[in-house]
Amino acid sequence: MCIIFFKFDPRPASKNAYRLILAANRDEFYNRPTKAADFWVSNSEILSGFLVSNFLTDHSQDSYSYLKRVSSERHLYNGFNLLTAEFKAKEDTMCYYGNRGNTEPIHLNPGIYGLSNSLLETPWRKLQHGKRLFTSVVNQPLPCEVLVQDLLNVLNNEELNTPDPAQESQGEGYSSPMLRVLSSVCVRSPHYGTRTNTIILIDSSGNVTFTERTMLNCDISQWSTSSFQFKLKD
């Protein structure tokens, strides 16, 4: 039950502020084979560990046009959410589409958002709790290293947010104890839970910091952290 929080601010008031701050957890079975995010061998301009790659490799369509094409094929897929963005010198654009919601993608206004295993901004208690923690961090003028660490702390918050009828109504097939476990921002159970934290920062000058913290050997006490810094092309 993955979760994402992000602040989109295409024209930050301060030179030291960020156009994008994104913090995300990937939750899945610990023993599922996976690869850590890295620059692709076949395309050194792409840094990714994500399953969806078509938007990254297809330069013929902008964010909204790509989601528009995806929405026309929504019936071919199980439920999914997709965020796309372009950060350019003249204009920043961020769009969202979920195939269990509206039939059309939307352009996102500047603001702070949360997304879990439902539609954007669905008011689950875990999402609202995490969004409050995230907001309290990103609204402070913090140095990059401190900001990353504080966001990791948000992503690793294990406070339970139950009962939550809204979340539980979408948890058909889960036992009550498992629904309770899934109610925290950071999910912890013996075999399933949060195994990757990702932080993406894009500052006012287009400098990107990408930090990923990944579980090792299916052991919640063993983690590896990698970080990449680069500058966006105009």
Report the CATH architecture of 3-231. 4-Layer Sandwich (3.60)
**Looking at residues 51-77, what average pLDDT do you find?**
85
Domains of the chain: which residue ranges? 3-231
- Conformational region of residue 218, where left means phi above 0, alpha means psi within -120 to 50, and beta covers everything else: left
The CA-atom distances, in angstroms, between 37 and each of 197, 199, 210, 228 are 11, 12, 10, 10
The pLDDT value recorded for residue 121 is: 97
Tokens of 35: 């690869």
Kind and range of the H or E element at 113?
A: strand 111-115
Q: How far apart are CA 30 and CA 59, in angstroms?
A: 34
- What percentage of the chain reaches a pLDDT higher than 90? 73
164 backbone φψ class: left, alpha, beta (φ>0; ψ -120 to 50):
beta
Task: Using the structure block, give the residue that is written with the tokens 């050194």.
Answer: 44
Point out the least confidently predicted range of 7-21, 41-55, 134-148, 166-180.
Answer: 41-55
37 pLDDT above the threshold of 70: yes
Q: According to the model, what pLDDT value does residue 53 have?
A: 80
DSSP 38: E
Does residue 9 surpass a pLDDT of 80? Answer: yes
Model pTM?
0.94
Helix (H) or strand (E) holding 167: helix 165-168
How high is the pLDDT of residue 51?
Answer: 53
152-210 confidence digits (pLDDT tens)? 999 999 999 999 998 988 887 889 999 999 999 999 999 999 999 999 999 999 999 99
Instruction: Specify the 3-state DSSP secondary structure of 57.
Output: helix
Distance of alpha carbon 47 from the chain centroid:
15
